[in-house]
Protein backbone atom coordinates (compact mmCIF):
# COMPACT_ATOMS: atom_id res chain seq x y z
CA UNK A 1 0.00 0.00 0.00
CA UNK A 2 1.37 3.44 -0.94
CA UNK A 3 1.89 6.37 1.40
CA UNK A 4 -1.16 8.24 0.07
CA UNK A 5 -3.35 5.18 0.49
CA UNK A 6 -2.20 4.76 4.10
CA UNK A 7 -2.72 8.45 4.84
CA UNK A 8 -6.16 8.73 3.32
CA UNK A 9 -7.44 5.22 3.85
CA UNK A 10 -7.85 4.41 0.18
CA UNK A 11 -7.61 0.73 -0.43
CA UNK A 12 -6.13 -0.65 -3.64
CA UNK A 13 -8.60 -1.61 -6.34
CA UNK A 14 -7.26 -4.85 -7.83
CA UNK A 15 -8.91 -5.89 -11.09
CA UNK A 16 -10.71 -2.55 -11.42
CA UNK A 17 -9.26 -1.94 -14.90
CA UNK A 18 -10.39 -5.39 -16.05
CA UNK A 19 -13.85 -5.01 -14.54
CA UNK A 20 -14.26 -1.58 -16.13
CA UNK A 21 -13.27 -3.07 -19.51
CA UNK A 22 -15.87 -5.84 -19.03
CA UNK A 23 -18.58 -3.25 -18.30
CA UNK A 24 -17.60 -1.13 -21.31
CA UNK A 25 -17.70 -4.25 -23.52
CA UNK A 26 -21.05 -5.33 -22.06
CA UNK A 27 -22.57 -1.93 -22.76
CA UNK A 28 -21.58 -1.79 -26.43
CA UNK A 29 -24.66 -0.85 -28.47
CA UNK A 30 -24.42 -3.79 -30.90
CA UNK A 31 -25.50 -6.22 -28.15
CA UNK A 32 -28.76 -4.32 -27.72
CA UNK A 33 -29.34 -3.41 -31.35
CA UNK A 34 -28.14 -6.36 -33.45
CA UNK A 35 -28.29 -8.85 -30.58
CA UNK A 36 -31.74 -7.77 -29.32
CA UNK A 37 -30.61 -7.90 -25.69
CA UNK A 38 -33.23 -5.95 -23.73
CA UNK A 39 -31.84 -2.50 -22.91
CA UNK A 40 -33.09 -2.68 -19.33
CA UNK A 41 -31.43 -3.00 -15.93
CA UNK A 42 -31.84 -6.80 -16.17
CA UNK A 43 -30.64 -6.91 -19.77
CA UNK A 44 -27.53 -4.88 -18.98
CA UNK A 45 -26.82 -7.09 -15.94
CA UNK A 46 -27.21 -10.20 -18.10
CA UNK A 47 -24.96 -8.85 -20.86
CA UNK A 48 -22.22 -7.76 -18.45
CA UNK A 49 -22.49 -11.17 -16.76
CA UNK A 50 -22.10 -12.87 -20.17
CA UNK A 51 -18.94 -10.90 -21.00
CA UNK A 52 -17.63 -11.43 -17.46
CA UNK A 53 -18.29 -15.17 -17.83
CA UNK A 54 -16.09 -15.28 -20.95
CA UNK A 55 -13.31 -13.54 -19.01
CA UNK A 56 -13.71 -15.86 -16.01
CA UNK A 57 -13.63 -18.91 -18.30
CA UNK A 58 -10.35 -17.64 -19.71
CA UNK A 59 -8.90 -17.03 -16.25
CA UNK A 60 -9.74 -20.53 -15.05
CA UNK A 61 -7.47 -22.03 -17.73
CA UNK A 62 -4.31 -21.29 -15.74
CA UNK A 63 -3.34 -21.09 -12.09
CA UNK A 64 -2.15 -17.50 -12.44
CA UNK A 65 -5.71 -16.47 -13.25
CA UNK A 66 -7.25 -17.62 -9.96
CA UNK A 67 -6.42 -14.48 -7.98
CA UNK A 68 -7.51 -12.16 -10.78
CA UNK A 69 -10.73 -14.15 -11.18
CA UNK A 70 -11.55 -13.70 -7.49
CA UNK A 71 -10.67 -10.00 -7.66
CA UNK A 72 -12.76 -9.24 -10.74
CA UNK A 73 -15.68 -11.13 -9.21
CA UNK A 74 -15.30 -8.99 -6.09
CA UNK A 75 -15.43 -5.85 -8.27
CA UNK A 76 -18.64 -7.21 -9.82
CA UNK A 77 -20.16 -7.67 -6.35
CA UNK A 78 -19.08 -4.17 -5.28
CA UNK A 79 -20.58 -2.68 -8.44
CA UNK A 80 -23.87 -4.55 -8.06
CA UNK A 81 -24.04 -3.51 -4.39
CA UNK A 82 -23.59 0.13 -5.40
CA UNK A 83 -26.13 -0.16 -8.21
CA UNK A 84 -28.73 -1.67 -5.88
CA UNK A 85 -28.22 1.06 -3.30
CA UNK A 86 -28.40 3.71 -6.03
CA UNK A 87 -31.84 2.50 -7.12
CA UNK A 88 -33.03 2.66 -3.53
CA UNK A 89 -32.72 -0.88 -2.20
CA UNK A 90 -31.98 -0.69 1.52
CA UNK A 91 -29.22 -2.28 3.57
CA UNK A 92 -31.47 -4.98 4.94
CA UNK A 93 -32.20 -6.63 1.58
CA UNK A 94 -29.09 -5.71 -0.43
CA UNK A 95 -27.30 -8.82 0.85
CA UNK A 96 -30.11 -11.08 -0.35
CA UNK A 97 -30.06 -9.45 -3.78
CA UNK A 98 -26.27 -9.80 -4.00
CA UNK A 99 -26.52 -13.46 -3.01
CA UNK A 100 -29.08 -14.02 -5.75
CA UNK A 101 -26.92 -12.18 -8.30
CA UNK A 102 -23.89 -14.28 -7.38
CA UNK A 103 -25.96 -17.45 -7.78
CA UNK A 104 -27.12 -16.15 -11.16
CA UNK A 105 -23.53 -15.41 -12.20
CA UNK A 106 -22.45 -18.89 -11.10
CA UNK A 107 -25.29 -20.49 -13.02
CA UNK A 108 -24.49 -18.49 -16.12
CA UNK A 109 -20.81 -19.34 -15.84
CA UNK A 110 -21.68 -23.05 -15.82
CA UNK A 111 -24.14 -22.71 -18.69
CA UNK A 112 -21.71 -20.70 -20.81
CA UNK A 113 -18.87 -23.12 -19.97
CA UNK A 114 -21.05 -25.97 -21.25
CA UNK A 115 -22.04 -23.94 -24.33
CA UNK A 116 -18.43 -23.13 -25.17
CA UNK A 117 -17.50 -26.81 -24.77
CA UNK A 118 -20.37 -27.81 -27.06
CA UNK A 119 -19.56 -25.06 -29.55
CA UNK A 120 -23.08 -23.62 -29.24
CA UNK A 121 -23.98 -20.83 -26.82
CA UNK A 122 -27.50 -20.49 -28.25
CA UNK A 123 -29.44 -22.50 -25.65
CA UNK A 124 -27.54 -20.91 -22.74
CA UNK A 125 -28.11 -17.44 -24.18
CA UNK A 126 -31.84 -18.00 -24.65
CA UNK A 127 -32.18 -19.28 -21.09
CA UNK A 128 -29.91 -16.72 -19.38
CA UNK A 129 -29.49 -13.62 -21.51
CA UNK A 130 -32.97 -13.55 -22.99
CA UNK A 131 -34.55 -15.18 -19.91
CA UNK A 132 -36.38 -17.79 -21.96
CA UNK A 133 -37.94 -15.41 -24.52
CA UNK A 134 -35.98 -16.23 -27.66
CA UNK A 135 -35.60 -13.31 -30.06
CA UNK A 136 -34.99 -13.62 -33.78
CA UNK A 137 -32.42 -16.39 -34.40
CA UNK A 138 -30.16 -13.82 -36.10
CA UNK A 139 -29.99 -11.83 -32.86
CA UNK A 140 -28.98 -14.93 -30.88
CA UNK A 141 -26.42 -15.77 -33.57
CA UNK A 142 -25.00 -12.24 -33.35
CA UNK A 143 -24.46 -12.47 -29.59
CA UNK A 144 -23.20 -16.04 -29.78
CA UNK A 145 -20.70 -15.24 -32.54
CA UNK A 146 -19.35 -12.19 -30.71
CA UNK A 147 -19.07 -13.94 -27.33
CA UNK A 148 -17.39 -17.00 -28.88
CA UNK A 149 -15.07 -14.66 -30.77
CA UNK A 150 -14.21 -12.87 -27.54
CA UNK A 151 -13.57 -16.21 -25.86
CA UNK A 152 -11.22 -17.26 -28.66
CA UNK A 153 -9.34 -13.95 -28.60
CA UNK A 154 -9.03 -14.06 -24.81
CA UNK A 155 -7.12 -17.34 -25.09
CA UNK A 156 -4.19 -15.41 -26.52
CA UNK A 157 -4.16 -12.67 -23.89
CA UNK A 158 -1.89 -13.01 -20.86
CA UNK A 159 -3.19 -12.64 -17.32
CA UNK A 160 -0.94 -9.58 -16.97
CA UNK A 161 -2.61 -7.90 -19.95
CA UNK A 162 -6.05 -8.80 -18.62
CA UNK A 163 -5.11 -7.32 -15.24
CA UNK A 164 -4.51 -4.05 -17.07
CA UNK A 165 -7.97 -4.22 -18.63
CA UNK A 166 -6.72 -5.18 -22.08
CA UNK A 167 -9.67 -7.01 -23.62
CA UNK A 168 -9.19 -7.98 -27.26
Could you tell me if 10 and 158 are in contact, meaning their C-beta atoms sit under 8 angstroms apart?
no
* Chain segment 50-102, per-residue pLDDT in tens: 999 999 999 999 988 999 999 999 888 777 766 655 666 666 665 666 667 77
Could you tell me if 150 and 54 are in contact, meaning their C-beta atoms sit under 8 angstroms apart?
yes
Give mean pLDDT, residues 119-137.
95
Distance CA 33, CA 38 (A): 9
Could you tell me if 150 and 22 are in contact, meaning their C-beta atoms sit under 8 angstroms apart?
no
Alpha-carbon distances, residue 119 vs 46, 126, 137, 157 (angstroms): 20, 15, 16, 21
Amino acid sequence: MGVMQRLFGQKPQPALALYNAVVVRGREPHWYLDGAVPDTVDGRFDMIAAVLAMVLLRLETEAAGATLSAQVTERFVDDMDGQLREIGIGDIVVGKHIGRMMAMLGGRLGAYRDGVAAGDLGPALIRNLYRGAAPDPLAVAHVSTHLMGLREKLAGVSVARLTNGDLP
